[in-house]
Amino acid sequence: MPSFDAIARTFESATRTISLAGRTVLPVDTNPVPAEWEHITKIDPEEAKKLPLLFPLYLQHTGALEVGGSKDVTGQNTEETLELVSGRPRPAIQEPSGVRQVTERTREQADYFAVPQVLNGDTEAIVGTLGSGIEYLREELGPEYLDDKLPIPLGEGLERRVVSLFSAWTLQEAVFEAYIIMNLDSAAAREASVTEDDLLSPQEAKQRAMVAETVFESEIVYLEYSGTFGGEEAVEILEDVSDALSWSRLWYGGGLDSRENVEAVLEAGADAVVVGNVFHEIADEEADLCADAVEALSADATHGDIESWLSDECDVAETSAAEYLSTIPSLSNPTARAREYLVSTIEAALALEALRSELDGEVTSEAELATALDRRDELPGGIELSNVLGDDEQSFPRDLVAGLLAEDLDLDAEALPVEHISVA
């Protein structure tokens, strides 16, 4: 009679064969990274990188929100950013660049967990940090998680095995991003110690991408030019790499800010584009515009007044809002959308300022502020946010406004982490 071990081995071998067939010969797509994601917005949790006030308006057009960055990212600022953006209105992916950015909370907040592995960096960036990550899962996060979730202790032996299951499961559920980093002047290159000698030709990039797909089984191969557009060189690499991949998704990121450069990389074979900087630049530009508008316009300025003020102030087609929206291939007329969202943002900022003056000295506690806001028929940005977020998120506009007002009104409130918002 075959032993249980032999039966388990046969079973494991059969499932591997089916999985391999699914990745190669069968006409099915078993990659857990949705193929419909053609546009991903990368949101950096570091405090200097802000979110637009009405960020869900912009994010409704992207496929997913990837939260992570290479510099000044912590568990805390990642939790805060995920608290604001996750599901508003798209799924969130946590992409850690360091082990301690992963916490019990971020695991619960994010819909996906993406682990970078750099194909042309130092050993730290391919196995070193991952090794300390697994140790952290087994020796810290796993035991903490069990202590929190289990009502009674399991005993040392069993607990060790359950923690090892937790760690293996976390990695099993993770999607791996095999990076090829090609801009030496980027935080990602510095973080992964990518030097001149590590830059790859299209053929070398293709060979490493094949290792990622067939040996590492990386769900994503990510051509990264963070901060600059890769142009012709990136196009050549994408053409070669895309020919070689059949299961892994091919993502391109770096310097995208127009329909033309997005089309160039998609036509070269990228399955999706990742857009980062220009999204955060919307926040920087709108903070200046809102500050000027508060000076220039009265609180009861109409939509038309704001629109004509905005046209005098800037060329909307040249704003980061229009640039970001133009990177979304499915969106027609990005400049008109940008105008609409900028006008709504300025309108919300004026209303917020008016509310601030009205409530100053009138409310003295968080509860009074909540009551005052609940009594109002309309909140700054409320209609626009509700249209995008729907009924499930009825309290978000109020929580956002309460958070933004709490500090100015000197209230000690358990508010949303609004320090990440442009106008805070």
Ligand X SMILES: CC(C)=CCC/C(C)=C/CC/C(C)=C/CC/C(C)=C/COP(=O)(O)OP(=O)(O)O
User: Can you give the binding site for ligand X, defined by CB under 6 A?
Assistant: 42, 68-71, 96-97, 99, 102, 115-116, 118, 125, 129-130, 133-134, 136-137, 179, 186-188, 191-192, 226, 276
Which of 129, 131, 137 has the alpha carbon at shortest distance from 104? 137
Rounded to the nearest whole angstrom, what is the least distance from the CB of residue 254 to ligand X in the complex?
A: 8
Q: Which CB atom, from 89 or from 276, has the smaller least distance to ligand 1GP?
A: 276
Query: Candidates 27-35, 98-106, 219-227, 399-407 — which segment interacts with ligand 1GP by CB under 6 A?
Result: 219-227
Hey, how many other C-beta atoms are within 10 angstroms of the C-beta on 100? 16
Partner whose binding site includes residue 275, from ligand X, ligand 1GP, none (CB under 5 to 8 Å by kind): ligand 1GP
Amino acid present at 413: A
Write down how long the chain is. 424
Residue 277 binding ligand 1GP, by CB under 6 A:
yes
Among 33, 37, 39, 42, binds ligand 1GP (CB under 6 A): 42
In whole angstroms, what separates CA 255 from the centre of its chain?
A: 16
Determine the Cα–Cα distance for residues 238 and 376; give it in Å rounded to an integer: 53
Residue 45 binding ligand 1GP, by CB under 6 A:
no
Residue 121 binding ligand 1GP, by CB under 6 A:
no
Q: Which CB atom, from 270 or from 401, has the smaller least distance to ligand X?
A: 270
Tokens linked to 89: 């209105």
Partner whose binding site includes residue 102, from ligand 1GP, ligand X, none (CB under 5 to 8 Å by kind): ligand X
Residue 23 binding ligand 1GP, by CB under 6 A:
no
Among 254, 334, 380, 381, binds ligand 1GP (CB under 6 A): 254
Residue 323 binding ligand 1GP, by CB under 6 A:
no
Residue nearest to ligand X as judged by C-beta position: 133
Rounded to the nearest whole angstrom, what is the least distance from the CB of residue 383 to ligand 1GP in the complex?
A: 30
Rounded to the nearest whole angstrom, what is the least distance from the CB of residue 282 to ligand X in the complex?
A: 16
Whether residue 132 contacts residue 139, with contact meaning beta carbons closer than 8 Å, is answered with no
Amino acid present at 235: V
Tokens linked to 246: 């059949």
Residue 227 binding ligand 1GP, by CB under 6 A:
yes
Q: Which CB atom, from 274 or from 322, has the smaller least distance to ligand 1GP?
A: 274
Query: Candidates 54-62, 82-90, 222-230, 341-349 — which segment interacts with ligand 1GP by CB under 6 A?
Result: 222-230
Residues that bind ligand 1GP (CB under 6 A): 42, 188, 224, 226-227, 253-256, 274-277
